[in-house]
Structure 1
Amino acid sequence: MTTLSVARANPRASRLLSQVLGEAGIGVALVTLTVFFLAAAPHFATTGNVRDIMTQITLNTILAVGMTFVILVGGIDLSVGSVIALCAVVAGSSMEHGGAGAIPLAIVLSVLIGAACGLVNGLVTERWRVPSFIVTLGMLYVARGAAEQYTHAATIYSLPSALTDFGTATIAGAPAVFVVALLMVAGAWFVLSRTVFGRLVYATGNNEEAVRLSGHKTTHIKVVCFVVGGLCVGVAAVVYMARLGVASPILGQGYELNAIAAVVIGGASLTGGRGSVIGTLLGACLLGILTNGLLLMGVSDFQRTMVTGAVIIVAVVLDAYRKKLSTRLSTTS
């Protein structure tokens, strides 16, 4: 009996198969990739390397959590790489020579600037019905130029040791910054799966007109999702400064593409309405493990970039097939 026949005979099997095609699918791919590198990449399973992988995926995980909200409502945010640089230089300058007491203010500044940029992206997109792709592309240039103007293209080095100490600290053997990323994933999961707002986010991505006709303001929902994306960028900027001990106006080039890739590989649909932060976390882990494993195998930077791009293309193609199968399964249930 074929898989489709089982789905037709049992609606519960149909729903289960749809779930397996989502998060479980990326989970299987992640395990397979890990097993491959355990056999092929030297020193891959060492404690130090595992900790390095956790640290390396932290920034992308935080950015991808925010990107998940945006993509779930059918949007896209190309400005996160530049906005993280703007958040970092403003927050970094507030901490310069300020000591540990300046850290709370810097964190607030970073988060507020990220949220403000997200708010502008959302308002312009919804108020004038401009594609978010274009709006956030414009914000990409605005934020990058503002970051360079703010510091006159100089990098800020004098950050409090308390911040950089946190960037290298561990909690129960895991990097402290990675724990921050996991807490953000947990918070986003709770919002999306256990709150009314989360259900409205999915509903808006699936059928915006139906949500509007039911009495909810879809414009507000979308704008809030862009703001959440900006908040995550602000947190990522603080984590970046904690890890590397600098705030640079050229930070973040290409980060938006990595975040989008993690969300898409994690099973989200670029048209909105489908995806989860758990899948996003798995997608970020897959990208991090892929990059790390190829590096340990001696693959060059250019070849690693090609492989990563190929993985993203395959993920998009598989997503298209998954949507077709999910549609067929839904008609049988």
Structure 2
Amino acid sequence: MNPPAQSPAAAAPAPTTRPLRGQLGTYLGLAAVLIGMVVLFSSLSEYFFTAETFITIANEVPALTVMAVGMTFVLIIAGIDLSVGSVLALSAAVTAAAILQWKLAVPAAAALGLATGLLCGAITGAVSVAWRLPSFIVSLGMLEAVRGGAYLVTDSRTQYVGDAIAGLAAPWIGGVSSAFVLAVAIVIVGHLVLTRTVFGRHVVGIGTNEEAMRLAGIDPRPIRIAVFAVTGLLAGLGGLMQSARLEAADPNAGAGIELQVIAAVVIGGTSLMGGRGSVINTFFGVLIIAVLEAGLAQVGASEPAKRIITGAVIVAAVIIDTVRQRRAGAA
């Protein structure tokens, strides 16, 4: 006798949301780490605990923040995107070329830069889905290809756009740039999409049990492509933010920033194995990375020392995530 057919609702994984108390505990834990770092660096440097330091940090993190939001979704579906730094550079380069060489209006040039990021992300997602290739390999190839594109567009030279898009980095509230306000708004939107929409539930479901999603009649392929496309779009926005702050598009911009992005997401508690993550926690991770770098710079740490310490923090976050996963599996 054949077993009864399983309904789509029964087959679909029910992505579990953490109890409010558990979420609050995580927020408080990350906030405690952040405050502890501020206290530590304030005791080591008399210049750290100043409004100028915190405004500088706020104005330097928008690009990292928006890229980390996209990477949170990518890691939740058990993927990874190593090309975001190169996409940042290419999007900024296309925007600069559109303004300086093609004489497009600034809004049209910015839209073209964002579309470039969206296209790069969509290609990464489509190739990995169509040929069932690990996103690690595909995005690694895109990292090199897109970086080459940035060199071609800029003729391997920094393009100075001046104040054409500087409004995005202009001081707005208490010296904090409009880019930071926009980045915080994107964090809030990302959190709501992940926790309050069907798309967010599908993202978590794919990372938790992709086969169960298929049995529920939900095709994970377009969702995967959409996640990578949005991540590319946010990397493109990060390129605009960085160009606005520096008033230039550098083809070498964003080199290595993908490691900072992944570090911020992992420090925020998003699982490298997929199925679990929080955009709010990712924002805490971004702030922790930013405060760590600013504090180390102010206490006079050398560049090698800063890289060693930052790397140790990343490894510690991965170890904590692995221990957490094992305990959850044993429970």
Q: Same fold (TM over 0.5)?
A: yes
Partner in structure 2 of residue 10 of structure 1:
none
Partner of 2:152: 149
* Secondary structure, aligned partner of 1:38: helix
CA contact (8 A) 1:267 1:276 kept: yes
The 8 Å contact of residues 71 and 272 in structure 1, kept in 2 or not, is answered as yes
Match of 2:233 in 1: 231
TM-score w.r.t. length of structure 2 = 0.90
When structure 1 is superposed on structure 2, of 20-29 and 316-325 the one drifting more is 20-29
Aligned residue number for residue 321 of structure 2:
319
Distance between the aligned counterparts of 1:23 and 1:205, measured in 2?
22
1:28 correspondence with 2:32: yes
Contact 1:79 1:256 in 2 (8 A): yes
* C-alpha separation in 2, matches of 1:230 and 1:158: 22
Q: In structure 2, what is the equivalent of residue 80 of structure 1?
A: 84
Letter in 2 for 1:167: A
1:240-319 equivalent positions in 2, closer than 5 A? 240-319=242-321
Match of 1:4 in 2: none
Deviation at 1:259, TM superposition (A): 0.5
The Cα offsets for residues 184-205 of structure 1, whole Å up to 9 and x where unpaired, read as 1111111111111011111111
Deviation of the 1:251 alpha carbon: 1.1
- The alpha carbon displacement at 1:43 in A equals 1.3
Aligned residue type for 1:106? A
2:195 corresponds, among 193, 196, 199, to 193
Q: What are the ranges of 5 or more consecutive residues in structure 2 without an aligned counterpart? A: 1-17
- In 2: Cα distance, 1:138 partner to 1:97 partner: 28
Whether the 8 Å contact between 2:38 and 2:49 is mirrored in structure 1 is no
The amino acid of 2:73's aligned partner reads F
Q: CA deviation at 1:20?
A: 5.8
Verify the 8 A CA contact 2:190 2:279 in the aligned structure 1.
yes
**Bigger mean CA deviation after superposition, 55-64 or 274-283:** 55-64
The aligned counterpart of 2:178 is: 176
Q: CA deviation at 1:173?
A: 4.1
TM-superposed deviation, 1:227: 0.7
Following superposition, the deviation at residue 16 of structure 1 comes to: 6.2
- 2-structure distance, mates of 1:24, 1:127: 41
Report SS of the residue matched to 1:325.
helix
Partner of 1:5: none
Shift of 1:271: 1.1
> What one-letter code is carried by the residue in structure 2 that aligns with 1:186?
I
Distance 2:319 2:226 in 1: 30
Q: Distance in 1 between matches of 2:19 and 2:92?
A: 44
The residue correspondences of 1:39-78 to structure 2 (distance < 5 A) are 39-78=43-82
- RMSD (Å), alpha carbons: 1.8
- Deviations 1:142-191, CA, capped at 9 Å, x for gaps: 101111112221211134x2522441322254222111110111111111
Shift of 1:87: 0.6
Code of the residue aligned with 1:37 in structure 2: it is F
Give the percent of matched residue pairs that are identical in Structure 1 and Structure 2: 41
Choose which of 117, 121, 124 in structure 2 pairs with 1:121.
Answer: 124
TM normalised by structure 1 equals 0.89
Aligned counterpart, 2:137: 134
Deviation string, structure 1 residues 83-139 (Cα, Å, up to 9, x no partner): 11111111111122788x822112211111111011110011011010000000010
Separation in 2, partners of 1:44, 1:325: 38
Q: Deviations over 1:225-265 (max 9, x none)?
A: 00110110111111011100001111110011110111001
Distance 1:326 1:31, change over 3 A: farther
Aligned mates of 1:244, 1:108 — CA distance in 2: 19
Take 1:59 and 1:119, find their aligned partners in 2: how far apart are those partners?
20
